[in-house]
């Protein structure tokens, strides 16, 4: 390859074209960059406060690990059938909203088994990172995904410290009308929001009680007289990864 | 007049890559992501390695233009316009991969109209579109004689913008406090060094290609300058990589993750030591800083090795970082039917590589078209001109 300097092409007639091209392109792209700003103003002007649900409640769950039996997965099955999470026999890509995890204290050897699900964090990293705002926290503390605006970027899955979210990797069958889902978007435990809104408790809580374990207590964390708050007052509870200061709505006791 | 056959050959190859990319994306979207190696544990795979590589390189590719107009170095002026064009096309290639890998790429319009301003990801959308806008304006000012006097100012803004852009891209990972591999303050400066290194390597390769297609050679002084710069940038990246690992090795907290990445993690230590360190750092640094190899061919080999290292580095960082299990209950060992406490499996599929290569093909193709469209125009444009 030679190293001689490049020559200039002296022709001029299309100069105008080139300039017009860049002028128009510059204007076009600048508009594109400005458009989101316009949207910001629009959002700021929207009267969103009125349409928010009240925040005098905060729904939560207390897991009594002393009552939670190793090997039992009643809560998992109940969740799967309530929300139609049927799976394709591919555990790595199938959706799972609640799972049983066996723990062993590395120092003492003490063993226990706990369910892990979306912890309905008060400061949820999934909501912070979601670019479109599809991940959101209701005023009553339930963290949900708006299935209409999730783009399936999976950033929330990267951010969730509890691996609580699933991406829908393939076509779905057997969907439930009360729990709409969609291929290509992310989902996680809704705390059975459809049941809560009808004054029922989540399916996992009901299944655990019916199986005779009663390890899950559902209630309003703000209601001092309610079962959750009074139980939490009596015994020491902990949240998972307290170092992250997420103030989770799901808490654990007896470990 | 040089023959245009090489141009069409390169353009045909780039087009073939684009087609493979589109077919791959279509396959992934219609079947669903289960046909890829990605799963609920490793949620970002090879497409993200390519996308981050292209986006980070885009900002570094603007280097030649910045050096010419911000730092007033004459040697780089022949490349100012080419490097600005390259910055745009690389970014467009990277963003296309990112979008086509979404679960719902059809909702792109949603992403453009719904913003969560707490999300660094959303901020990046502004940083990227803003960068493209700024570089287009920059190009316009270089082309339009009446605007030439503003080139320096816009160039400085673009220079600052791209530093922020790279920091923003690095922050996508650095903000993931729950993931040990990414929770590091060194990540942002490391990304800036990476962008300079990868961008300069690509500048060397792309401009050697375009100059040779035109039947001319890359000016020797320029090539020598670029190769020296590349050598320094590769050393800078290596420095940050070293600091990153040393700070982690200092406290016991991260020992098991370090053991995983550096020793016991199978593919990851292999990619780290052989790909990133040996092929991507030591070998090119030796080649670039040795006077005996200061001709074009070894320089291009060294630049290609830097790119191999870049790919390995991003693979280890992005995928290795997810494969290592999150410690949900510190102090306890965890087992479950949902892969808690175990190293996550990830076997990249051909479709993922196809999509990634499609992005590279798109960047190259649009770059070629850009040079060709503007080469039709008066003054051969990119290789000289009033701003230059
Ligand atoms: S547990 Fe995960 S998914 Fe649930 S609110 Fe917290 S961060 Fe979000
Ligand atoms: S996958 Fe959906 S919910 Fe999660 S961050 Fe992306 S857009 Fe938000």
Tens-place pLDDT, residues A47-98: 344 444 567 899 999 999 999 999 999 999 999 999 999 888 999 999 999 9
Q: Which residue has the tokens 């910045």?
A: B66
Within its chain, how far is the Cα of B60 from the centroid? 8
Q: What is the mean pLDDT of chain A?
A: 85
- pLDDT category at A13 given cuts 50, 70, 90 is very low
Q: Which of B150 and A187 is assigned the larger pLDDT?
A: A187
Which range has the worst mean pLDDT, A31-35, A111-115, A209-213, B117-121? A31-35
User: Taking CB atoms and an 8 Å cut-off, how many pairs form between chains A and B?
Assistant: 261
**Percentage, residues of chain A above pLDDT 90:** 70
CATH number of A54-253: 3.30.70.20
* Interior angle at CA B118, CA B113 and CA B120, nearest 5: 85
B213 and B10 Cβ atoms separated by less than 8 Å: yes
Residues whose CB falls within 8 Å of the CB of residue A84, separated by 6 or more in sequence, listed in order = A172, A174, A175, A176, A179, A181
Q: Is the minimum distance from the CB of A119 to ligand 1 under 6 angstroms?
A: yes
Which range has the worst mean pLDDT, A48-57, A119-128, A230-239, B127-136? A48-57
- Residue B182: what pLDDT? 87
- Taking CA atoms only, the protein residue closest to ligand 2 atom 6 is A153
Using the mean position of ligand 1's atoms as its centre, give its distance from the Cα of residue A119 in Å. Answer: 6
Is residue B8 domain-resident? no
Is residue B388 domain-resident? no
Is residue B209 domain-resident? yes
Q: Which of A36 and B277 is assigned the larger pLDDT?
A: B277
pLDDT beyond 70 at A151: yes
Q: Strands across the sheet with A59-64, in order?
A: A216-220, A59-64, A250-253, A237-238
- Residue B1: what pLDDT? 47
- C-alpha to C-alpha distances, A206 to A99, A179, A237, B131, nearest whole angstrom: 16, 18, 21, 53
B381 and B79 Cβ atoms separated by less than 8 Å: no
pLDDT beyond 60 at A2: no
Query: How much is the average pLDDT of A19-45?
Result: 49
Which range has the worst mean pLDDT, A3-17, A125-139, A220-234? A3-17
Q: Is the minimum distance from the CB of A255 to ligand 2 under 6 angstroms?
A: no
Is residue B267 domain-resident? yes
Nearest CA distance, B186 vs chain A (angstrom): 19
Q: Strands across the sheet with A111-117, in order?
A: A111-117, A98-105, B332-336
- Residue B237: what pLDDT? 98
Is residue B280 domain-resident? yes
Is residue B343 domain-resident? no
pLDDT beyond 70 at A133: yes
- Residue B77: what pLDDT? 74
> Which residues of chain B have a pLDDT value below 70?
1-3, 375-388
pLDDT beyond 70 at A22: no
The single-letter DSSP state of residue A176 is B
- Residue B153: what pLDDT? 87
Q: Which domain holds residue B119?
A: 17-327+356-373
- Residue A26: what pLDDT? 54
- C-alpha to C-alpha distances, A50 to A40, A46, A54, B350, nearest whole angstrom: 19, 10, 10, 50
Using the mean position of ligand 2's atoms as its centre, give its distance from the Cα of residue B137 in Å. Answer: 33
Interface of A with B in 201-240 (CB under 8 A): 240
Domain ranges of chain A: 15-44, 54-253
- Residue A17: what pLDDT? 54
Is residue B233 domain-resident? yes
| Domains: count for chain B | 1
Cβ contact, residue pair B334, A17, below 8 Å: no
Which range has the worst mean pLDDT, A20-29, A102-111, B223-232? A20-29
pTM for the predicted model, two decimal places: 0.89
What backbone phi and psi angles, to 5 degrees, belong to A227?
A: -60, -35
B334 and B239 Cβ atoms separated by less than 8 Å: no
Residues whose CB falls within 8 Å of the CB of residue B319, separated by 6 or more in sequence, listed in order = B42, B44, B45, B46, B49, B268, B346
Is residue B346 domain-resident? no
Looking at residue B302, which CATH number applies to its domain?
Answer: 1.20.1630.10
Residue B386: CB atoms within 10 A of its CB come to 13
Residue B87: CB atoms within 10 A of its CB come to 30
């Amino acid at each position: 390859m030679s190293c001689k300097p490049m020559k200039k092409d002296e022709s001029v007639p299309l100069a105008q074209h080139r300039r017009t091209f860049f002028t128009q392109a510059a204007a076009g792209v600048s508009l594109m960059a400005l458009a989101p700003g316009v949207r910001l103003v629009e959002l700021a002007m929207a009267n969103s406060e009125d349409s928010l649900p009240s925040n005098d409640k905060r729904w939560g769950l207390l897991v009594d690990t002393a009552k939670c039996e190793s090997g039992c997965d009643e809560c998992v099955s109940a969740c799967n059938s309530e929300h139609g999470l049927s799976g394709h026999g591919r555990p790595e890509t199938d959706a799972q909203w609640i799972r049983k995890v066996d723990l062993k204290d590395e120092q003492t050897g003490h063993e226990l088994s706990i369910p892990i699900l979306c912890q309905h964090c008060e400061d949820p990293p999934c909501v912070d990172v979601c670019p479109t705002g599809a991940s959101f926290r209701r005023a009553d503390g339930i963290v949900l995904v708006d299935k209409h605006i999730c783009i399936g970027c999976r950033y929330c899955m990267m951010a969730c410290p509890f691996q609580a979210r699933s991406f829908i990797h393939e076509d779905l069958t057997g969907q439930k009308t009360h729990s709409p889902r969609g291929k290509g978007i992310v989902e996680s435990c809704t705390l059975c929001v459809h049941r809560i809104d009808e004054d029922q408790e989540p399916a996992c809580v009901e299944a655990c009680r019916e199986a005779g374990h009663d390890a899950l207590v559902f209630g309003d964390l703000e209601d001092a007289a309610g079962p959750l708050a009074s139980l939490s007052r009596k015994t020491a509870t902990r949240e998972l990864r307290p170092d992250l200061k997420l103030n989770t709505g799901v808490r654990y006791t007896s470990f | 007049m040089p023959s245009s056959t090489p141009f069409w050959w390169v353009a045909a190859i780039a087009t073939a890559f684009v087609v493979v990319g589109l077919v791959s994306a279509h396959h992934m979207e219609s079947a669903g992501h289960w046909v890829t190696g990605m799963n609920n544990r490793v949620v970002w795979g090879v497409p993200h390695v390519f996308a981050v590589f292209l986006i980070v390189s885009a900002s570094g590719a603007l280097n030649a233009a910045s050096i010419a107009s911000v730092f007033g170095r004459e040697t780089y002026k022949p490349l100012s316009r080419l490097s600005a064009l390259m910055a745009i096309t690389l970014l467009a290639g990277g963003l296309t991969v990112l979008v086509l890998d979404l679960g719902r790429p059809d909702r792109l319009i949603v992403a453009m109209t719904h913003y969560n301003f707490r999300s660094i990801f959303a901020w990046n959308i502004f940083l990227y579109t803003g960068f493209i806008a700024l570089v287009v304006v920059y190009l316009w000012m270089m082309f339009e004689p009446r605007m030439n006097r503003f080139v320096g100012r816009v160039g400085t803004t673009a220079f600052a913008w791209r530093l922020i852009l790279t920091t923003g891209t690095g922050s996508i990972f650095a903000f993931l406090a729950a993931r040990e591999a990414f929770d590091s303050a060194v990540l942002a400066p490391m990304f800036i060094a990476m962008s300079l290194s990868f961008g300069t390597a690509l500048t060397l390769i792309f401009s050697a290609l375009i100059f040779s297609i035109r039947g001319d050679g890359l000016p020797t002084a320029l090539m020598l300058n670029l190769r020296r710069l590349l050598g320094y940038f590769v050393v800078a990246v290596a420095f940050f990589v070293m600091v990153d690992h040393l700070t982690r090795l200092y406290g016991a907290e991260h020992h098991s993750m370090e053991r995983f990445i550096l020793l016991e993690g199978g593919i990851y230590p292999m990619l780290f030591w052989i790909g990133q360190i040996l092929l991507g750092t030591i070998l090119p640094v030796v080649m670039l800083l040795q006077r005996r190899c200061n001709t074009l061919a070894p320089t291009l080999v060294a630049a290609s090795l830097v790119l191999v290292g870049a790919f390995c580095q991003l693979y280890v960082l992005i995928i290795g970082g997810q494969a290592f299990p999150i410690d949900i209950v510190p102090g306890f060992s965890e087992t479950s039917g949902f892969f808690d406490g175990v190293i996550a499996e990830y076997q990249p599929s051909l479709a993922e590589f196809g999509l990634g290569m499609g992005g590279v093909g798109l960047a190259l193709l649009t770059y070629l078209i850009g040079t060709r469209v503007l080469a039709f125009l008066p003054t051969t444009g990119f290789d000289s001109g009033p701003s230059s």
